[in-house]
Structure 1
Amino acid sequence: MKSNRRKFITTTAALAASTIAASAMPSSDYQKDEFPVVHHVFFWLKNPGSIEDRDKLVAGVKTLAKIETIKKIKVGVVASTEKRDVVDNSWAVSELMFFSDLAGQATYQTHPVHLEFIKNCSHLWEKVIVYDAVDA
């Protein structure tokens, strides 16, 4: 009886441990993001050497986080990474936003906070490029 009980406990513990380990491993299947719509914007400053203008633009972009349809936002500046032909580091500030759906991204475009950002900060940039994508 003790032998069967001990065998049962050992088998159950091993099975539980392997289940936990398997669930912790990343899945080899591609899984779509919970926020499948991506809006990535790059800004070039009118005064590219101005840290003050860059910081004003960064602060302005961060105000966009108040828009309820933006599920996640990242604001960045050029990283000091290796210089390669495929790397474009001519821009100054970027915003990377994630939305649940295209309707949320459309709401963002006409939202008063976004329009206020454009009004308050557009004098800082000379060029803007936008890349929009959805999960494939």
Structure 2
Amino acid sequence: MNTNRRKFITTTAALAAGTIAASAMSSSDHQKEEFPIVHHVFFWLKNPGSTEDRDKLVAGVKTLSKIETIKKLRVGVVASTEKRDVVDNSWAVSELMFFSDLAGQATYQTHPIHLEFIKNCSHLWEKVIVYDAIDV
């Protein structure tokens, strides 16, 4: 009786672990195929100590989510992580966008909402750096 119970628990645990691993792999593969274009932008504020300016910029970036070709948008501020030589925490706000294709990213660049964002928020930043990538 004890042996059967152990076999059942072991089998159940193995199946659960396999299901979780398969689910994690298939969801990451799905995202890779679905949104392979990544657009990551870093902003440095003219007034780096101003939380008001930072919050205005964050709010402005979030308006970009209305652009239909942006499939996912993440907005971030510098995290209080461990200081290391390889970590650049000199920026203030970042946006991370995912697109289905290069045409969608090109549409975003000239979209009226994006142009309005630049018009309304460019006075807040001193420097912008963009990294565009495609999943491989």
Alignment of 1:22 with 2:18, yes or no, is yes
Question: Structure 1 counterpart of 2:20, which letter?
Answer: A
Report SS of the residue matched to 1:52. Answer: helix
Work out the CA distance in 2 between the residues paired with 1:17 and 1:77: 39
Given the two structures, how large is their TM-score scaled by the length of structure 1?
0.81
1:16 to partner: Cα distance: 10
The C-alpha deviation readout for 1:74-97, integer Å capped at 9, x for no partner, is 000000000000000000000000
Matches for 1:1-136 after TM superposition, within 5 Å:
22-25=18-21, 26-27=24-25, 31=29, 33=32, 34-136=34-136
- Specify every segment of 5 or more residues in structure 2 that has no aligned partner in the other structure, as ranges: 1-10
Work out the CA distance in 2 between the residues paired with 1:101 and 1:22: 32
- Specify every segment of 5 or more residues in structure 1 that has no aligned partner in the other structure, as ranges: 1-14
Question: Structure 2 counterpart of 1:24, which letter?
Answer: I
Q: Give the number of aligned pairs.
A: 121
Bigger proportion of residues as helix:
2
Work out the CA distance in 1 between the residues paired with 2:85 and 2:43: 20
Cα 1:84–1:19 change in 2 (3 A) is: closer
Report SS of the residue matched to 1:82. Answer: coil
Given the two structures, how large is their TM-score scaled by the length of structure 2?
0.81
> Taking every aligned residue pair, what percent have the same amino acid on both sides?
81
Question: Structure 2 counterpart of 1:72, which letter?
Answer: K
Greater gyration radius: 1
Partner of 1:5: none
Work out the CA distance in 1 between the residues paired with 2:82 and 2:57: 25
Work out the CA distance in 2 between the residues paired with 1:102 and 1:56: 29
Report SS of the residue matched to 1:55. Answer: helix
